[in-house]
Chains A and B, each alone.
Chain A
Amino acid sequence: NAGVMQNPRHLVRRRGQEARLRCSPMKGHSHVYWYRQLPEEGLKFMVYLQKENIIDESGMPKERFSAEFPKEGPSILRIQQVVRGDSAAYFCASSQTKISYEQYFGPGTRLTVT
C-alpha cells in the first residue's frame, strides 16, 4: 500500500503564475488535509476535504487559494497569481476517518516563488 503521494516535490513559479499541487491519498482514505509550513515555522492547517466536498476551509486565505478533491483523481491545491510570500512547503495528509491521529503525511511540495 503506497503512502500519501504528492507531486511535484519541488515547484518553481514566477510571481503572477499559477501553482497546482497534487495529493494522492493512501488507498482507502477519503479524508484529505492540506497544511502549509513557512520557513522556521510549524505547520498551519489550510483545508479539510472529503470526496467532492470541502468540509473545513477555515485556514485557507480568502483570495487566490482553492482546493478540490474530485470523485476521481488526486486532491488539488491551486494557488493563483502566486506571490513571494506563498513560498513554503505544502503538506498533504490523508486518513480513513476524521480522527486526527490517524492522518498519514505525504513528503510535501516545496514551492518557490521567484
Chain B
Amino acid sequence: KQEVTQIPAALSVPEGENLVLNCSFTDSAIYNLQWFRQDPGKGLTSLLLIQSSQREQTSGRLNASLDKSSGRSTLYIAASQPGDSATYLCAVEDSNYQLIWGAGTKLIIKP
C-alpha cells in the first residue's frame, strides 16, 4: 500500500531564505509526482508535475526533484517571499491511477 510522508509538518523561515521541503513514498511504482499549494479557504493549485521518467522540473523560483528508486522528492524554493506562505502538498499517482497524498508542510515566511 502506497504511503506518502512529508517532512517537516511545519516550517517557519525569514523572508529571502532558500528552503527545501521533503516528500517520501513507500512504493516506487508511480506514474508521476505532483507538488501542490493549498491556501486557506481555497482549492489546490498544481505547482510542478514530474513524470516517473524525469528527474526534476523547474518553474520560476521552484525546483522539484524526483528520485524514484529511493522514494524521495524535494521541493526547493529559492529566495522565499511572504506570499509563499501556504501548505505544500505532495501527491503521487500510483499504479491504480489514484492520487495518494502526503499530509503537507505548512510553510510560514516571516517578513
Q: CB within 8 Å of B: which residues of A?
A: 3-4, 9, 35, 40-45, 56, 58-59, 91, 98, 100-101, 103, 105-108
Contact = CB atoms under 8 A, between A and B. Distances in A.
Nearest to B50: A101
Contacts, number: 53
A59 B1 CA distance: 13
Contact of B43 (A4, A40, A59): A4
A107 to B, nearest CB: 5
Interface residues of B, number: 24
B99 A100 contact: yes
B85 to A, nearest CB: 18
Contacts of B4: 42
B53 to A, nearest CB: 14
Contacts of B43: 3-4, 91, 105-108
A79 B34 CA distance: 30
